[in-house]
Structure 1
């Protein structure tokens, strides 16, 4: 793969990644509720999900999703319901999520595998990335060059960009944590972020095949 091809792909991928979505909201939540280590785990979960979806796209699942209304609808509904569930759970949280001492939480109490799994599930239950991979990869794969090395280059580039973007959002949110550290503001943060999760889920329900 030539450098200018990779650079163009990186630019297109970054524009797609930097747009806020469920993974970004989860990273922000984790950075505020726990610490940056929790955000690392959720971001790694998201990156792992991207690898699975990219592999599935290369194996033809993306084409199936684009042609099978039933499978596409199942993916869409499962992903939407999961986001709505997370949103309702967040919305109903009434306490100050930033006061871990008050909640008797410690660093050891943070279940990093659960956080990783949540990031992974949010990614793989969203049909948009796999359709994105299916539509994008053929534009940048060079038929005269072995496909597998190109697949790893494109996929790892996308994963790395996603991870760095999520961490960037997390660092920015972390710098504002002191502003949220009151019960009233924290409650509104819970409500707003919960409503956004629900909105993203409802938006996913309206996603159409292209």
Structure 2
């Protein structure tokens, strides 16, 4: 139990630290409302679950051992974050114009549920930092004598569930303040900040050594 509580403590510290998943969840909540934010969080959780399964099966070790494959994942993930960031900056500079006039506080439901889930899923699944993080974190909390595959998988799923819960809280809070945040000037400022953050994170991932 002490080992598991220690794992929960470390996981919470890591999860609450803002990163790409948080930025994408906030932006998608503004674009598609609370449901889009939660679906983004669900996509992130599914991505983490796949990483956990791959780590348990030893596939992540093969990925990190292959320099070309690891670099391919790293640059694909970085490119995707930069792409999303550029989309956000475009919205900040040239906001999409609706065919009909909208109230300044009317929600801009411009993000389909499938797109929200896909963005969360792809951004997390293409994040090479998870490929390094999970194999270094999870084995430290596997009790001696227990099957490593099942233990690693369960720890990874717990990590994914905590992440899902945390990002869902984020989405709910952003949705509550949605009317104010969706005011044209405020929304454009948020798009500019989130776009800049996503691009910076993408560049950092591309430039980072293992």
What TM-score do you get using the length of structure 2 for normalisation? 0.87
User: What do the CA deviations read for 1:140-166 (whole angstroms, capped 9, x no partner)?
Assistant: 112412334423431221011101111
Q: Distance in 2 between matches of 1:181 and 1:131?
A: 37
2:67 corresponds in structure 1 to 69
* Partner Cα separation in structure 2 for residue 171 and residue 34 of structure 1: 12
Is the 8 Å Cα contact of residues 76 and 207 (structure 1) preserved in structure 2? Answer: no
Q: Cα deviation per residue 1:77-114 (whole Å; 9 max; x = unaligned)?
A: 000000001111111013279xx97399886x752122
Counterparts of 2:40 and 2:175, CA distance in 1: 15
SS of the residue corresponding to residue 95 of structure 2 reads: coil
**Cα distance, 1:182–1:72 mapped onto 2, change above 3 Å:** same
Matched, 1:25 2:23: yes
Change (3 A) 1:114 1:140: same
Partners of 1:147 and 1:181 in 2: CA distance = 47
Match of 1:95 in 2: 95
Instruction: Specify the SS of the correspondent of 1:92.
Output: helix
Could you tell me how far 1:132 is from its partner in structure 2? 0.9
Residue matched to 1:136: 137
Give the secondary structure class of the aligned counterpart of 2:132: helix
Give me the CA root mean square deviation: 2.5
Match runs of 1:48-197 below 5 Å: 48-93=46-91, 94-95=94-95, 102=102, 111-197=112-198
List gaps (5 residues or longer) in structure 2. none
Secondary structure class of the residue paired with 2:145: coil
Mapped contact 2:139–2:152 kept (Cα < 8 A):
no
Length-normalised TM-score, structure 1: 0.87
**For 1:208, what is the secondary structure of its paired residue?**
coil
Q: Which residue in the other structure is 2:13 paired with?
A: 15
Q: Does the 8 Å CA contact 2:28/2:37 hold for their aligned counterparts?
A: yes
C-alpha distance in 2, partners of 1:33/1:53? 28
Q: Secondary structure at the match of 2:209?
A: coil
Aligned residues: 204
Q: Per-residue displacement from partner, 1:51-87 (whole Å, max 9, x unpaired)? A: 1111112222332343332222111100000000111
Q: CA deviation at 1:195?
A: 1.0
- Asked if 2 retains the 8 angstrom alpha-carbon contact of 1:54 and 1:130, the reply is no
Structure 1: give runs of 5+ residues left out of the alignment: none
